[in-house]
Chains A and B, each alone.
Chain A
């Protein structure tokens, strides 16, 4: 099956800093989503981005499907950005999301 790798595994930032999170996947995909899991455990949809670039406020994402990677950019980070960021893909004949192991982000004031 498709393998999803995320890097870095963890990241500590000072408030106001920028960061880039990466997601590599091993095969072509039909769907790619980025999620933020907050400290209360909720999974929040950030982007649905099987290809191209999208922006939402301080967050943006780019997926280069032909090269099998996606990037999540966080600018001017805030303490509320802390949590785990997951990349998940759908590929092949099923519709199940395959999750990466996540990037644990801690933003310090």
Chain B
């Protein structure tokens, strides 16, 4: 158990819908990262937050957004869902933001039908 929690574990929804994925980092970690794992793209970085502020963006679609709250939990919002958004979404956390070990949560498996 990494100490990073993610909810829900599984999510099945229809095209065009909006969903919210939630992540709680390890106790004491200030930095949160979101990654997407799909069959065709592999594991890819989406976005990073550090102590409530956005720090880096990767290949995140405009239909996706995220935020980190004062209690340091983070949410990833996915809207206007398409079949191709079906993937495993991971949250990771680290103590600070500079090259520290990242610990991954169990992931949320999203299926868009």
Spell out A's residues near B (CB within 8 Å): 30-31, 33, 35, 41-45, 48, 50, 86, 88, 90, 94-99, 101-102
| 26 contacting pairs across A/B (C-beta < 8 A) | A30-B98, A30-B99, A31-B99, A31-B101, A41-B106, A42-B106, A43-B90, A43-B104, A44-B2, A45-B104, A86-B43, A88-B43, A95-B31, A95-B33, A95-B48, A95-B97, A95-B99, A96-B45, A96-B48, A96-B58, A97-B35, A98-B45, A99-B42, A99-B43, A99-B44, A102-B42
B107 and A41 within 8 A (CB): yes
Spell out B's residues near A (CB within 8 Å): 2, 31, 33, 35, 42-45, 48, 55-56, 58, 88, 90, 92, 94, 97-104, 106-107, 109
Roughly how many angstroms separate A31 CA and B33 CA in the complex, as a whole number?
15
Grouping DSSP codes into helix (H, G, I), strand (E, B) and loop, the B interface class, with mixed when no group exceeds half, is: strand
Roughly how many angstroms separate A53 CA and B97 CA in the complex, as a whole number?
24
Given contacts A86-B43, A96-B56, contact A41 B109 (CB under 8 A): yes
